[in-house]
Chain A
């Protein structure tokens, strides 16, 4: 399991720049928004929590098909399926690797982009916290979507159609947590709901993803 995690991390870091790509995408999306809505600080500050969450979500989506597709093509996934560790562990580990290379950097980069969007000072800690709590759910849900579409030739567009609706609850609670933090309202409820979604996803979705992969390898 550790070996698998290290392998996935190494592949993500060394091969093809998937690691930096989603971060760069996040940056670009965030930079594009002021061009779209105008540079007034008040407006930007108000929509910043939502923009940053949507941006993180899209950046996360961008790298999803890398989770299983390459391993499926060269047969590594077949080996993993017959390996002595359960396939559920494989999917969970791969989701973890995806989070370490996408979710975690996004979380760390988000405050810097918050400055660009004029996010009020009170929001920064909540932004980081909510992303740290919420992005594991994004990776796990995404791994499930990737497992569903791994057998398809051009599954990228379909993947986003399948995964984005599943992201809605995470987005609602994540962005709301930051918004409440900015306005000085209590943030416990959305934060706990976000944590609940993450823990629930991590508990259930590895099984669903493994089931989907077994079907695809049949």
Chain B
């Protein structure tokens, strides 16, 4: 099993058709487990009250928002180097999912920030970096939409994704320099002294796995749709030629 086998759309469609119900089912299961556990079976925080529970959506969405961009970067590289057609379609399919995750992260953050920080928005490095990431997603999707020829679009968006990644990372560290932070540090880490207590961490891990599976499932569905629409376009073109 190598990813090169799946450069063949037929093979990809077969395998993904088999895998999709399992991934989706598992995603629903872990999401329900993680969220129900997190929302109803963890204590309120002594300072933040029940608002602490927004962490079960906020943190997984934020992780997926950055993770999606890295997945797109890898998929774009694979396309540019080896012309793996399904890979670039997966990158295209992932972009709206990543955008949505970024928006969820920003919105849940705002909802939590209003009672806790007393403001919906602050020009904090993390918040700003996420807003910039959102702009990068918008540009990437707009370039896909603007170019008609699919292979040209794939090439140009992949180059944009590569260059954008470099600049997104520079921006991430530039904003640290630019303003002091209001956002707390990492919620989860292996070695840090200060992070969320175990009571909150376990359902959070489950929710993160759930969001990850949800992402895989959505990307599979969207990639399958892309492949089908490509087929449809090819059939239409053949019809016109005949």
- Show the binding face of A for B, using Cβ within 8 Å: 141, 144, 148-149, 151-152, 155, 158, 161-162, 164-166, 168-169, 172-173, 176, 189-190, 193, 197, 204-205, 208, 211-212, 215-216, 218
Chain A residues contacting B174 (CB-CB under 8 Å) are 168-169, 172-173, 193
Interface pair B167/A169, CB less than 8 Å apart = yes
Which residue of the partner chain B has the closest CB to A189?
B177
Interface pair A216/B156, CB less than 8 Å apart = yes
Q: Which of the listed residues A151, A169, A208 has the most CB atoms from chain B within 10 Å of its own CB?
A: A169
Chain A residues contacting B162 (CB-CB under 8 Å) are 208
Interface pair B146/A152, CB less than 8 Å apart = yes
Q: How many angstroms between the C-alpha atoms of A163 and B56 in the bound complex?
A: 34
Interface pair B164/A215, CB less than 8 Å apart = no
The answer, among B147, B152, B160, B175, for a CB contact under 8 Å with A162, is: B160
Chain A residues contacting B171 (CB-CB under 8 Å) are 165, 168-169, 172
| B155 on the A face (CB < 8 A) | yes
Comparing B25-33, B101-109, B112-120, B137-145, the segment that makes contact with chain A is B137-145
Q: A144-B163, A165-B135, A165-B139 are in contact. List 4 more A-B contacts (CB 8 A).
A: A151-B152, A158-B139, A169-B174, A176-B177
| B52 on the A face (CB < 8 A) | no
Q: Which residues, 128 to 186 on B, are CB-close (under 8 Å) to A?
A: 132, 135-136, 138-139, 142-143, 146-147, 152, 155-156, 159-160, 162-164, 166-167, 170-171, 174-175, 177-178
Q: How many angstroms between the C-alpha atoms of A119 and B26 in the bound complex?
A: 60
The answer, among A151, A152, A169, A212, for a CB contact under 8 Å with B170, is: A169
Which residue of the partner chain A has the closest CB to B136?
A165
Chain B residues contacting A151 (CB-CB under 8 Å) are 147, 152
Interface pair B163/A166, CB less than 8 Å apart = yes
Interface pair A162/B159, CB less than 8 Å apart = no
Interface pair A215/B152, CB less than 8 Å apart = yes
Please give the distance in Å from B91's CB to the nearest CB on chain A: 16
Which residue of the partner chain B has the closest CB to A141?
B167
